[in-house]
Amino acid sequence: MRRRLRYWLHHGERQRLLWEEMQFHIESMTEDLVAHGMCEQEARAAAHRKFGNMTQQSEQARSTWIACWLSDLAQDLRHSFRGMRRDAGFAAFTILIAGLGIGASSTVFSVVNALLLRPLPFRDPARLVWLTNGGDFTAIQTEHYSDLRELNRSFSDLAGWCAYYFPGDHELTGAGEPERLTSVPVTQNFFEVLGVQPMLGRQFTTGESQGKYSAPPAMLLTYNFWRSRFASDPNVVGRRLTLNNTPATVVGVLPASFDFASVFAPGTPVDIFVPWPLTDKAKPSGNTMKVVGRLKPGATVRGAQAELAMLAKQLESRHPERNPIAPRLALLEQHVSGPVSPALFVLACAVGVVMLIVCANLSNLQLARLGARQKEIALRSALGAGHFRLLRQMLTESVALSCCGALLGLVLAEAGTREVAHLHAFNLPLLESVRIDGSALLFTFLAAVASGVVFGLLPALRASSISLREGLQDAGRGSSGGKRHAWVRDGLVVAELAFACILLVGAGLLIRSFLRVLDVNPGFQPERAAALRIDPSFRLSSLARQNSFIDDVLNRVRAVPGMVAAGITDALPLRDDRAWAVAAAGQIYAKGHQPESFVRVVTDGYFAAAGIPLRFGREFTEQDRASSERVVVVNETFARTLWPGQNPVGQMITTDKGRRVVGVVADVSHAALEAASGLEMYLPMRQTGDYADMQLVVRTALPPDRLAAGIRTVLRPIDPNLPVREFVTFQDLVDKAVSPRRFLVMLLAGFAGFALVLASLGIYAVISFSVSQRTQEIGIRMALGASASDLQRRIVLRTLGLALAGLALGMAASRALGSALDSLLFGITTGDPVTYIEVGTLLILVAAIAGYIPAWKASRIDPIIALRCN
Amino acid sequence: MGSEKPKVDLLPGTLDMLVLKILMRGRFHGYAIAQLIQQLSDDLLRVEEGSLYPALQRLELNGWIDGEWGLSANNRRARFYNLTPAGRKHLSQESVSYRQVTGAVARIMGFA
């Protein structure tokens, strides 16, 4: 084998030597013949005759060390590249289109691969299970967690993290610029359960996990934070930093492969992890913990589910004082990628359809070119190229073209995946791990070969069936088409149009849904509103101290020129959530039927700053303080739910030691624009200390960014350590909430646009080809008195005929496939007539234009020239 | 030139064996091998050049013969082939099995 390889590597040299050897043979034979009395010239000719075709002989001899197919392949490839050079325009066009198609396919494959196919970046992810409490995203109480962890037999361990962390919860000081960090409190065994080893240092110890919730003694850095803040300094482990004014030690750095945010909280990068002391009584209470578990070998999700349900029932009866618990299990992989899989499925189908259009288009192009190459092919077969050999040569040509396209496609896919991986604002899991890897390369290669075969097959079959006589006859091009041939090309164009129609309908439905979503009134006015986190770096020891801080901040900020309104809240719409059970005074609710309401703690001015309209009663004022009556403002849904048909203003709720409703405001979208907002209540910040963070919300006359510097300047005297990294506009919040939908719409619209361009090119090519083939006929018609407009009408009508056929097929298919989009639509149905009408009009219009250009050219044919040209 | 003798096709696989056998006599170039086969068979066996050179390539690739460049009797550059020990071994195996096969054929045909 090694020898064979060596021979092959030096095959040029060996070929030359073999040639020389055979030359010597002929010479010797000639000499012998001369010795027998033949004249020299005759002898040489006889020797050559006897020896036969030297090239063929050497090829045969060579075939002992080079497989025959390999040298044929090399020959075909050489021929293909020569052909490409000769017909550079065609080759460039083919490579460009195939490249765009393959690039799009590889990009989508990489996204699908990262989000659905590739295992999660944890040890043995197939045994990781996500535990929720009833609803999909509901957390459980830590006390329940501790008991379940102890009692269950299905899991090797359960771990949890605090669901109530917010961007910028912890403030890092004492190491350069103060900075607000996003930190996630986790149970001590969290990384062990996931199977993640710190890259540097160690995990949390039990001791570190028994401190105070408000003052974590240790922290683990995420890889990205380590790189950006500490410049990848390996000596950072063991350093003492100041976190929320208390010292904390860096105990380790997590590996780059562990990306908590991308799996569990897409769109919110995490900086550090801190231990979560479950023993601390002062930790947040209620349903605060999200839980993952690792199944024991052999345990199933179903079995674990049954066991936990039984345990939960026992716990509920033993601890009636706790929140209800209804554990629901799902494999972590399903939980993470489940919600995005319908969208990905649609994307994958769309890109498949794009590839089909690309193939149809290129196939058509090849067929058109075949007319011009007919003589070449006939000549080849006359010289002895067999049917199969011709077929293979044509296929080699198209695969070579599509592989060149794949190279271009890889460049595009590399750029595309890089772009996708950096869409930080997008709320999609695992997006950052999208990249071109080995499997994507393999996919690209397979896609290139497959598409080459698919678009080359029809022309190749056609080429190898060209009859010798027909091909070599110099009958000119007029007769070469033939009925069957034209039918194939028309069919390809109709298929292209039908596919384009399917994509356009899909994209149209999603775009219209997207516009509907953007039209949803979020309950606040995002324009010119922005939020800045301003928690003071010192402790607000009393309500009085807190209120003077609030007064100070608001007075200073409101004095900034260009400020329209300013207020403070603890939770931004579409981002933060916290819910309490609520009850109207004097009402009894059955267990499990008590309404739950989102809680926001706000100051006066917040409603004006966020642009939330007041419906009844009054807003908070500066007078709603600790000393005055405890009040609450609720939203319309809250009022409707608790006091149907009554005036809510003046009513009492028993929640939070009893509060009187003084006003009703509009509903604000809370979880997503597509979902109803639910119950909401607003507590005056000056009456409570029960909130986690302070977000200054401003409404400005100018774009908020312009005022950022001014706001920082006026706040500096109050708290010189105020970190000012984060300045979130409300528009950002809305954008982020719609980002997954935007992602899908952008990609699908891009595909549909590409498909439309390809389909119109296809029509144009077919029509202008048929026109050029019928130049003579057209000349005769015109000479006999056909008017230009008559001619144009005939050609455009033929185009429209094709377009209508494609449209009808495409619409029918769209209607049949529509249900795949069902879960992705909002506000419209899959049969939305407006979309269908718009797509139909667009396609007909484009087809008419694509057909009119050749028609116009045809009508300018000079009959004399046309008739003379043969 | 005299009248051409009827051409006899070699049995498949025998050419390799014949080439190896010829090379037992010493080192020869391709033309000489063809000539020798023809002479030793009283002009009965003729080696097609079209199969000789592939056979030589094949034998060399298998390491049974060794080719090297040298000068022919009339001082021309030619490629001479040597039998290698492996080739010698292969030849003896081949001739044993060939004898068995021809013997069997002969017995059936009633020649023996």
- Which residue in A25, A33, A51, A55 has the most chain B C-beta atoms within 10 A of its own C-beta, making it the best mutation to test that interface? A25
**Residue A220 and residue A275: Cα distance in Å, rounded?**
9
- Given this model, what pLDDT does residue A477 score? 46
Give the tokens for residue B87.
């080739």
Contact B48, A56 (CB under 8 A): no
- Rounded to the nearest angstrom, the minimum Cα separation between B93 and chain A is 22
What is the per-residue pLDDT across A324-345, written as a single tens digit (0 to 9) for each? 777 777 787 777 777 777 888 8
Please state, as a whole number, how many other Cβ atoms lie within 10 Å of the Cβ of residue A413: 28
Bridge partners for A201 per DSSP? A252
Query: What is the full per-residue pLDDT of chain B (112 aa) written as tens digits?
Result: 334 444 455 666 788 888 888 888 888 888 888 888 888 888 888 787 777 888 888 888 888 888 888 887 778 888 889 889 988 999 998 889 888 888 898 888 887 6
Question: What does the DSSP 8-state code read for residue B7?
Answer: P
Q: Which of A3, A57, A59, A66 would you mutate first to test chain B, the one with the most B CBs within 10 A? A: A57
Q: Tell me which residue in B1, B30, B57 faces A65 most closely, judged by beta carbons.
A: B57
Nearest-angstrom CA–CA distance, A453 and A399: 6
Question: Measured between CB atoms, which of B54, B61, B76 is closest to A27?
Answer: B76
Instruction: Answer yes or no: is B83 within a domain.
Output: yes
Determine whether A174 is exposed, middle or buried from the number of CB atoms within 10 Å of its CB (0-12, 13-18, 19+): exposed
Q: In the structure encoding, which two tokens stand for residue A794, read together?
A: 């005939």
Is A208:A217 a contact under the CB 8 Å cutoff? yes
Dihedral, CA of residue A835, residue A836, residue A839 and residue A840, to nearest 10: -150
Collect all residues with Cβ–Cβ distance below 8 Å to A717 and sequence separation of at least 6.
Answer: none
Residue B37 domain-assigned (yes or no): yes
Contacts of A485 (CB under 8 A, 6+ apart): A367, A462
Domain that holds residue B103: 14-109
Three-state secondary structure of A107-119:
HHHHHHHHHHHCC
How far apart are alpha carbons A373 and A362 in whole angstroms? 16
Q: What is the pLDDT of residue B6?
A: 44
Backbone angles phi, psi at A696, to 5 degrees: -80, 125
**Helix, strand, or coil (residue A171):** strand
A29 contacts B31? CB cut-off 8 A: yes
pLDDT, greater one: A229 or A423: A229
* Per-residue pLDDT at B2: 37
Residue B72, min C-alpha distance to chain A (Å): 10
Higher pLDDT, A122 or A581: A122
Confidence of residue A479 (pLDDT cuts 50, 70, 90): very low
**Contact across the interface for A22 and B49, Cβ inside 8 Å:** yes
- Please tell me whether residue A702 adopts helix, strand or coil conformation: coil
Query: Quick one: DSSP state of residue A634?
Result: E
H helix intervals, B25-66: 30-40, 49-61
Measured CA to CA, the distance from residue A757 to residue A93 in angstroms comes to 13
Between residues 10 and 49 of chain B, which touch chain A (CB distance below 8 Å)? 29-31, 34, 49
Touching check for B110 and chain A: CB below 8 Å?
A: no
**Nearest-angstrom CA–CA distance, A781 and A793:** 14
Contact A711, A532 (CB under 8 A): yes
% residues pLDDT > 90 (chain A): 0
Q: Is A249 helix (H, G, I), strand (E, B) or coil?
A: strand
State whether B76 and A51 contact (CB < 8 Å).
no
DSSP codes joined into one string, A737-786: HTHHHHHHHHHHHHHHHHHHHHHHHHHHHHHHHHHHHTHHHHHHHHHTT-
Pairing of strands A218-221, A246-253: parallel
> Average of pLDDT values for A504-533?
84
User: Could you tell me the two tokens for A353?
Assistant: 């359809």
> What count of residues does chain B have?
112
**Residues A544, A564: contact at Cβ < 8 Å?**
no
Query: In this structure, what are the phi and psi dihedrals at residue A701, rounded to the nearest 5 degrees?
Result: -80, -35
Residues of chain A contacting B, Cβ within 8 Å: 3-4, 7, 17-18, 20-22, 24-25, 27-29, 31, 36, 38, 50-52, 56-58, 60-65
Closest Cα of chain A to B65: distance in Å?
A: 13
In the numeric block, the tokens 């009402």 are attached to A587
In three-state form (DSSP H/G/I as H, E/B as E, the rest C), the secondary structure along A551-591 is: HHHHHHHHCCCCEEEEEEECCCCCCCCCEEECCECCCCCCC
Confidence of residue A172 (pLDDT cuts 50, 70, 90): confident
Task: Over range A382-406, report the average pLDDT.
Answer: 79
Chain A residues in contact with B61 (beta carbon < 8 A): 3-4, 7, 64-65
State the Cα–Cα distance between residues A400 and A603, nearest whole angstrom. 68
Which CATH number is B90's domain given? 1.10.10.10
For residue B77, the chain A residues in CB contact (below 8 A) are 20, 24
pLDDT at A205: 78
Rounded to the nearest integer, the mean pLDDT of chain A is 78
- The owner of tokens 């509920």 is A316
Residue B4 lies in a domain: no
Per-position DSSP letters for A23-34, written without gaps between them: HHHHHHHHHHHH
Six token digits for residue A813: 């298919």
Residue A184: CA count within 13 A, CB half-sphere: 22
Residue A213 and residue A221: Cα distance in Å, rounded? 18
Read off the pLDDT of residues A666-684 as tens digits, 9 standing for 90 and up: 888 877 777 777 888 888 8
**How does A34-53 read in b/e, with b if 16+ C-beta sit within 10 Å?**
beeebeeeebbeebeeebee
Tokens matching residue A549: 């801080």
A28–B58 CB contact, under 8 Å: no
Chain A partners of B84 at a C-beta cutoff of 8 Å?
none
B103 Cβ under 8 Å from any chain A Cβ = no
Q: What is the ipTM of this complex?
A: 0.77
A442: left (phi over 0), alpha (psi -120 to 50) or beta: alpha
Report yes or no: A346 and A111 within 8 Å, Cβ to Cβ.
no
Q: Given CA atoms A504, A509, A515, A518 in this order, what sign does their dihedral have?
A: negative
Residue B21 domain flag: yes
Residue B39 lies in a domain: yes
DSSP-derived letter for residue A124 is S
Asked if residue B66 is part of any domain, the answer here is yes
Chain A contact probe: residue of B47, B57, B72 with most A CBs at under 10 A: B57
Kindly list the residues from chain B whose CB atom is less than 8 angstroms away from the CB atom of residue A15. Answer: none
Which amino acid does the sequence have at B108?
I
Q: First-to-last CA distance in chain A?
A: 59
- Candidates A21, A30, A33, A53: best to mutate against B (most CBs of B within 10 A) is A21
- Cβ-nearest to B61 among A3, A38, A52: A3
Domain count across chain B: 1
**Angstrom distance (rounded) from CA A386 to CA A398:** 19
Q: Which residues of chain B have a CB within 8 Å of the CB of A19?
A: none
- pLDDT tens digits for A603-661? 888 888 888 888 888 888 888 887 888 888 888 888 888 888 888 888 888 777 788 88
DSSP H helical ranges for A327-482: 332-337, 341-382, 387-421, 438-464, 468-472
Determine whether the interchain pair A24/B76 forms a contact, defined as Cβ–Cβ distance below 8 Å: yes
- Cα–chain center distance at A196: 26
Closest listed residue to residue A193, CA positions, set A136, A219, A155: A155
Q: Does B104 contact A at CB distance below 8 Å?
A: no
Q: For strands A631-635 and A155-162, give the pairing.
A: unpaired
Q: At what angle do helices A40-51 and A54-62 cross, to 10 degrees?
A: 40
Q: Which amino acid is at B55?
A: A
Nearest CA-CA distance, residue A59 and chain B, Å:
9
Nearest chain B residue to A2 by CA distance is B61
B67 part of a folded domain? yes
Q: Using 50, 70 and 90 to split pLDDT, how confident is the model at A473?
A: low
Mean pLDDT of A187-211: 80
Tell me if B53 and A31 make a contact (CB, 8 A cut-off).
no
> Count of alpha carbons within 13 Å of A114, Cβ hemisphere only?
23
Do residue B50 and residue A31 have CB atoms under 8 angstroms apart?
A: no
The tens digit of pLDDT for each residue in A521-569 reads: 888 888 888 888 777 766 667 778 888 888 888 888 888 888 888 898 8
**CA atoms within 13 A of residue A52's CA, in its CB half-sphere:** 12
Q: With contacts defined as CB-CB under 8 Å, which chain B residues touch A17?
A: 79
Full-model pTM: 0.67
Tell me phi and psi for residue A330, to 5 degrees.
Answer: -150, 145
The closest alpha carbon to A196, from A273, A141, A248, belongs to A273
Residue B80: inside a domain: yes
Which pLDDT tens digit goes with each residue over A222-253? 888 888 788 888 887 888 887 777 888 888 88
Question: Between A and B, how many CB-CB pairs are < 8 A?
Answer: 60
